[in-house]
Amino acid sequence: MDANNNIFELDNIALKIFPQLYDDYLSSGKLFKQVKNIESAIEMFSKAIKISPANTIAYFERGRAYLLSKQFLKAYDDFDRIINSENNNGYYNFWRGFTNLQLKKYKEARSDFSTSIKSEDAVNKYFTLLPLIYFLRGVSNHLLNELEDAIIDYDLVIGLKPNFPDFYYFRGFAHYQSNNKEPAIIDWRKSIELGKDDALKFIFNM
């Protein structure tokens, strides 16, 4: 039996012996996170992981808590561990991609968002996340100066959510940086119409 099998076997034994304790730590961690006591939340999730080191739920919750406390490298490690143990779950790729974006690893973020978009989980279980995933992939492309690809992603997200001013705002920037001033003005005017006044200063300065 290899090392991974041994871990899962020990994990199953631990859950049989301490099922309530694991659930208590997990529940306590979620409650602490809800009241913004992130340090205590991380401590509870870590205790749950000690009881059940192969269970992905506690890693996922701890990863999100690390994100809230801006401990991005630790968040990355937790999401990365889950992805390496669970294939074809685009939801976790979304969270690792978001973490990569915070770490300014834009190519890696773009790759994670693309994987998330292609997965059945994103299309079926997490359909409501798709606009955000397209948008963040667009931002990743934008920060990589891949302006044409960024505009394609912004087009996709606007097609799904046409009433969000930020999407037009960012697409306007991509057009402007591509020396396409007319569509940039159209997008910024649309973002103003939808309530984002920030775009006014860019129009006045053109």
CA distance 10 to 56: 15
Q: For position 2, what pLDDT does the model report?
A: 46
Prediction pTM value = 0.82
More confident residue, 154 or 34: 154
Q: For position 28, what pLDDT does the model report?
A: 87
Q: For position 34, what pLDDT does the model report?
A: 86
Contacts of 126 (CB under 8 A, 6+ apart): 90, 91, 94
Q: Which residue has the tokens 């890696």?
A: 108
Portion of the chain with pLDDT greater than 70, in percent: 81
Across 193-198, average pLDDT: 81
Half-sphere exposure of 123 (CA within 13 A, CB side): 7
Across 127-155, average pLDDT: 94
Tokens standing for 54?
Answer: 């192969």
93-130 tens-digit pLDDT = 999 999 999 999 999 999 999 999 888 665 555 567 88
